[in-house]
Amino acid sequence: MAGPRLLERARAPRHLQFNPFVLGGYRPASSGAGCLRSLFYLHNELGNIYTHGLPLVGFALLVPGALPRAPPAVAWLGLGHYVACVAPPLASVLYHLFMSHRAGAGLYRRLLALDLCGVALVNTLGAVPIIYCALPCRPGPCGAALGAYGALCGLALWGAVGAGSRAGRLAAFAGPALFRLAVVGLRGAVGLGPPAALAPYARMEALALLGGLVNVARVPERWRPGAFDYWANSHQLMHLLVALGILQLHWGVAADLHWAARHPCPTA
């Protein structure tokens, strides 16, 4: 499908000029239908849409079948995990697909907030099984830990939405990441939950950090402005690393939930 005439950076809407090293391929402002048509022609957001759109379809279809059939005490963890896997790529696809809508900067800011909510959901819901299996069958301490972590994630989202830069948004989520790492370290030291879950969780954190740093550094397009307008720029690389991180999270949570299903809490 032939698309509209694409714009150079200087002629693009100002709120879309956030990467000074992407020099062309910008969509003109269009209607919602025009944004949807942009799924079928080349522009500088197409890679961003599909590097999260394809993982979204994969997670939506494959995650449920990898989780155990479990009693309600464990099944709710699986539902939260499903939302944690699909929310970030779904919010990201909506953000990148409709950011060129003719409603302008106001809609763009709401879409960016939606994208950050997807990040907050995977941070919040993604860690629930990690914490649950650190404090199995101890509802009081587990509830307190989940409440503290949820409050920390809420503060992180508030800080990320208010941040004026990519570096600020990355830094806003440092607190929840350190909390998760502490819990994973505690589990490894004390021997709580299945050992097979710990390595995927560590890889998840490493991939998330690497993706954030690549996105902030804007490499490789910083080295050759204009050469990576359509493919292999920092944001697309970050998307791929995030998708791999969610996959690692899924492997860790699947191991945790299978373990929790085999070790039910006593019913007194």
Task: Name the residue range of residue 205's domain.
Answer: 41-262
Could you give the CA distance from residue 5 to residue 23 in angstroms, rounded to a whole number? 15
Domain count within the chain: 1
Q: 174-190 vs 105-126: helix axis angle to the nearest 10?
A: 10
Could you give the CA distance from residue 38 to residue 2 in angstroms, rounded to a whole number? 9
Q: Does 16 map to a domain?
A: no
Tell me, yes or no, if the pTM score tops 0.85. yes
- CATH number of the domain encompassing residue 216: 1.20.1070
Q: Does 90 map to a domain?
A: yes
Q: Does 29 map to a domain?
A: no
AA letter at 160: A
Q: What pLDDT is attached to residue 110?
A: 97
Per-residue pLDDT of the chain (268 residues; tens, 9 = 90+): 678 999 999 999 999 999 999 999 999 999 999 999 999 999 999 999 999 999 999 999 999 999 888 777 678 899 999 999 999 999 999 999 999 999 999 999 999 999 999 999 999 999 999 999 999 889 999 999 999 999 999 999 999 999 989 999 999 999 999 999 999 999 999 999 999 999 999 999 999 999 999 999 999 999 999 999 999 999 999 999 999 999 999 999 999 999 998 888 876 5
207 with 241: CB under 8 angstroms?
yes
Q: What pLDDT is attached to residue 268?
A: 52
Could you give the CA distance from residue 151 to residue 204 in angstroms, rounded to a whole number? 22
Q: Does 89 map to a domain?
A: yes
Q: Does 107 map to a domain?
A: yes
